[in-house]
Structure 1
Amino acid sequence: MTTASPAPWILGLTGGIGSGKSAAAERFAELGVHVVDADQAARWVVEPGRPALAEIARHFGEGVLRADGTLDRAALRQLIFENADERRWLEGLLHPLIATEIAQALAKATSPYAVFVSPLMIESGQYRLAQRLLVVDVPEALQIERTLRRDNTSLEQVQAILKAQATREKRLSHADDVLVNDRDLAALRAEVERLHAFYLTLTGGH
């Protein structure tokens, strides 16, 4: 009689803007770990043909749709940015759908553990889905420098995003593991490999 292998445990992966969490997630995926990205789930739930998109267009009007029928994120952002009630309405619609999407994607994992990546892991309470939390940590000056280089955006915008995210201290207070990403990509990848070897020795994340 074969014993079923234990269900994969879930590693939450988070970090502030420009911390390198996407690069870390990419390396976990290359090592054969099942990776689920909250941002991708948030995009999937508003794809054309999904009920959420029709609901959003009904509520905000056709002006939030592009000519090809996809969601015009910039137009929607503008509408909710100035109106807290509308933002709450949208979150009330999308958050349960995104949570379902994430749960279904995580349930498909066949690797010993799965990685769940979310930039708002702490703020949204999504860390409760994970048995263990890995925070990619970077000094704030470096976060700003990397984001400005990558996103071709203004310093004000980066600072506004940093303000909206959990503070570094808050993120670190939830962390089981911390990956300090203040060197180059090769160092980050080597650190992910080291953590992966360690994670393979754990049962249920402990």
Structure 2
Amino acid sequence: MRNTAADPPPEPRRRRIVDGGFLVLLSLTLVSGGLVLLTRGPLRVWEITQETFGFLLLLSPKIVAGVFIAATLPLVLPGKEIGRWIGAESGLRGLVLATVAGAAIPGGPMMTFPLAAGFGMAGADIGTMLAFVTGWSLLSLNRTLIWEFSFLPHDLVWTRYLLSLPFPVLVGLGARALRGRVPA
């Protein structure tokens, strides 16, 4: 556990812009663009390009804010408290707390993933980070209340929700077991 008040910030990892993941995405993009060019023509490729860059302009501020949150969260949260509440020693309570937080947090992946990363840098363990993300993914109250109950039969929504309830905690326990940290 780091003492963020006394310890200097860690050296940032060197990240490569062009890596294997980027090359796979670039290849898929070029192949898809080529297929659209052959089947729909250059005008459609241009329209898709404009739509994509417009969407990127809308999405960029959210991504920047999410990354900023991830970078600053460890500096403003007390590491000892984070470790006690959602760290490896938090036990089942930490997994349940992370699940509830994940279910309650509004917003999409631009907020959720940076928050999970920020919690990890502040002292949360892999189990609670995965319970948080899985809770958001499976149990999002925002999505369930606004979208699912609006469009789907209520018994279907309740059945899905109740069946999904244990999974974030189970994922967290599984992650801890893989890392050798099963709570008592």
TM-score computed with the length of structure 2 as normaliser: 0.28
Structure 1 or 2: more strand by fraction: 1
* Structure showing greater relative contact order (alpha-carbon pairs closer than 8 Å, 6 or more residues apart): 1
Structure 1 or 2: more helix by fraction: 2
TM-score computed with the length of structure 1 as normaliser: 0.26
Larger radius of gyration: 2
